[in-house]
Chains A and B, each alone.
Chain A
Amino acid sequence: MKMLFRKALLAAGVSLFATGAMAEQGVTDTEVVFGNIVPLTHPVTASLAYQVIYGNTVAAAEWNEKGGINGRKIVIKDEDDAYVPANTVQALQKLIDEGVFAMLTTGAGAGVAATLPILEEQAIPTMVNFSPYEPAVNPVKPSIFMIGASYEDLLFGEIKYIVENKMDGKTPKIGVIRQDDDFGKQVETAFTRAIKDFGLDYADPLTFKRGQKDFGAEILKMRAAGVNILIAGGVTSEIPAMAKEAAKFKMDLQIATVPTGQLTPIVKLMQPTGFTYFSGDYVSPLGSKGAEHFEAMANKYLKEDEVKGLSRYSLTAYAASLIMFQAAEACGKDLTRACISEKLASGEKFETNGVTQPISFSADKHIAATATLVVEIDSKTGASKAVTELMDF
């Protein structure tokens, strides 16, 4: 009897040890927990944060209906960083304490930068997608992956298109008004690269503090310098504010914007300016054939008002989530952080249901979906159309 008890105790100990060794944080027999950090309470970017969550939600709901990740239900924990890098770090620490397995989003630009040391140290599989940030994957970090072209590539593609197709014999002169942060620095790299590659004449770059609304002096300086291509380097309402001032002075201007330029509220605010302007993207636009499956799933899993709030940010979040879930699925029952990172870097193709071309990473390239297309937006009608194919820059 005593012997039997010892054997049972030993078996229980071995079983406990084995479970402890195999179980990865955030993974149980029934669920896998993913984390998401977005600026839910930042007044300007909160709507984008919700659009990201809608994309994650659709992907998780679709996957869970098919049985989850090898029978484990997908659970997503959202945290708010209010677009403040210090908060992004706190939010990540909280999610780690609460036991997340991997990260679907880790805030925007500066937030990603702030969390990189922790993500790298703890080897947390992470998919950067909300705001492309090249240093996250260059140099390669084993557990960190990114989809989407950098702001530099997106804007450079637009400028290239403008210079080649829209100048009508005029000599191009380029200017940039950009936010004075990491996001703005990326915007300015497109400006610098375009000057170098196309030999463009230029006006000195101007910066502004986040939250600035009036751009009278900035536009007047651009006008005085004779700028006819402007990179409007704002995130949201700054773009129409600049365009409105330019329209007042009847400037003959081609305007390049980051992908937020396609968002409905921006297009509506641009309407009085009458400008036809440009934006860039790496996902199929909503309403296109490539977004059909996503939109069908969104109609199935989201509420009516949430469907109305969808944007390209929902598509990028959806694609990023799908990639992460497929990599997790490929690990089988033995789901570990090391395995998911290995699967992501394996070169295997991941499907995004038409939102992007099939995505693949490799051991020395953790960035994908970098090909961009240029979108032309007619502010008078609100209509937008892709004017180029997907191209790598």
Chain B
Amino acid sequence: MDLFLNLVASGLVIGSVYGLIGMSFAIIFRTTGVLNFAQGEVMMLVAYTAWTLTHTLLFPFWLLVPSTIVLAALIGMAIERLFIRPMTGQPIFAIVMVTIGIAITLRSLTTLVWGHEFEGFSVPFSGGVVEIGPVFLLTEQLAVLILFMAVSAMTWAFFRFSRVGMAMRATSQDETAALLMGVDSRRMSSFAWAISAIVSGLAGVMVSVLFARAPDMWHFGLKSFPAAILGGLDSPIGAGFGGLIIGVIGELSAGYIWNGLKEISGLILIIVILMVRPYGLFGEKELERV
């Protein structure tokens, strides 16, 4: 039981990271229909920038969080304005290719500016151990869980109750109707990229705290993509829970069956789920009348 509970806890921690990044995929897709394959790289860029704020410019933690959020939003909006908006009206495949180009550019840019070395990212709450019965968690791991729950709740509330959130939902459902109702779809796209960069950026900071600020951390973007598919690309909350499921299944399969399953069990699950629900666990079935 001890092993089981700790494996679940470990899965929830890594799943929270996948979930946060998965949510950021879904936020953009839900609003604009674009799959941003540079999500992992945006996450990395925000994490590196936050690292500079705290370790080079010596920002205190209370200032680091709002500064990172603002910077992440600016990075997201800048990418949307510079690279995505000029592609409006182009085939979706072309836009996806642009995001792949952005990904490669950001990877190179990051190593160009910060170099190849990996570094620790210390925050005031890291380094402690919390024991909940037989379960052991590092304080930073507990922080990731709390962050995931907080971001999930805020995202849900944002899309459910805020005017901007509802406008973004309207844009995703019927852009023409939304335009007729006075919704500026370009602004909604910009908001989506900003919110997505904030969510993935916070995940990036936590990845740096948990492991290291390293030039290969963009891999988490690739690993999180299945979470978005599993939960439903048009459902940010679903994508978040998809991350948790993939994390827990990965740890349990590695713990009880075979270690090699850790990386692939989530993908096997996706194949099975998509055969039954092609739109993901929490995605909306698209009905087409002919």
Residues of A within 8 A of B (CB): 41, 43-44, 46-47, 50, 180, 206-209, 211-214, 216-218, 220-221, 224, 236-237, 240-241, 244, 248-250, 265, 268-269, 271-272
Contacts and interface: CB of A to CB of B under 8 A. Distances in A.
Nearest to A266: B118
13 contacts: A43-B107, A46-B116, A46-B215, A208-B259, A214-B13, A214-B14, A214-B211, A216-B10, A216-B13, A217-B250, A217-B255, A221-B259, A237-B214
Contacts of B127: 272
Given A208-B259, A217-B259, A220-B3, A268 B119 contact: yes
Contacts of B219: 211, 213
A47 B216 contact: no
Given A206-B259, A214-B10, A43 B212 contact: no
Given A46-B215, A207-B260, A269 B118 contact: yes
A241 B14 CA distance: 13
Q: Which of A180, A209, A216 has the most CB of B within 10 A?
A: A216
B10 A240 contact: no
A220 B10 contact: yes
Contacts, number: 95
Given A46-B111, A217-B7, A241 B118 contact: no
Residue of B119, B211, B260 most packed against chain A (CB within 10 A):
B211
Contacts of B254: 217-218, 221
Contact of B120 (A213, A220, A268): A268
B54 interface: no
Contacts of A46: 111, 116, 215
Interface string B247-276: 000110011000110110000000000000
Contact of B214 (A44, A216, A249, A271): A44
B211 A216 contact: no
Contact of B259 (A211, A218, A268): A218
A248 B259 contact: no
B138 to A, nearest CB: 5
Nearest to A270: B120
Contact of B215 (A43, A180, A269): A43
B137 interface: yes
Nearest to B10: A216
A218 B6 CA distance: 12
Given A207-B260, A220-B10, A240-B212, 10 more contacts: A43-B107, A43-B214, A207-B259, A213-B211, A216-B14, A217-B251, A217-B262, A237-B211, A265-B119, A268-B119
A220 B7 contact: yes
Contacts of A272: 120, 126-127
Q: Chain B interface residue count: which class? A: 35 or more
B136 interface: yes
Contacts of B250: 217
Contacts of B251: 216-217
Contacts of B138: 244, 248
Interface of B: 3, 6-7, 10-11, 13-14, 107, 111, 115-120, 126-127, 129, 136-138, 207, 210-212, 214-217, 219-220, 250-251, 254-255, 259-260, 262-263
Given A43-B216, A240-B212, A269-B118, A216 B136 contact: no
Contacts of A214: 10, 13-14, 210-211
B249 to A, nearest CB: 11
Given A220-B255, A268-B119, A241 B211 contact: yes
Contacts of A206: 259
Nearest to A50: B116
Contacts of A44: 118, 214-216
Given A208-B259, A217-B262, A221-B255, A269 B212 contact: yes
Nearest to B138: A248
B259 A249 contact: no
A50 B111 CA distance: 13
Given A240-B212, A241-B211, A268-B120, A249 B136 contact: yes
Contacts of B207: 213
Contact of B118 (A221, A244, A265): A265
Contacts of B119: 265, 268
Contact of A265 (B14, B117, B260): B117
A221 B2 CA distance: 11
Contact of A248 (B116, B137, B215, B260): B137
A49 to B, nearest CB: 8
Contacts of A248: 129, 136-138
A20 B119 CA distance: 53
Contacts of A50: 116
Nearest to A236: B118
Contact of A212 (B117, B212, B263): B263
Contacts of B7: 216-217, 220
A237 B118 contact: yes
B207 to A, nearest CB: 8
A16 B212 CA distance: 60
A47 B259 contact: no
Contact of A47 (B117, B137, B212, B263): B117
A393 B136 CA distance: 39
A200 to B, nearest CB: 21
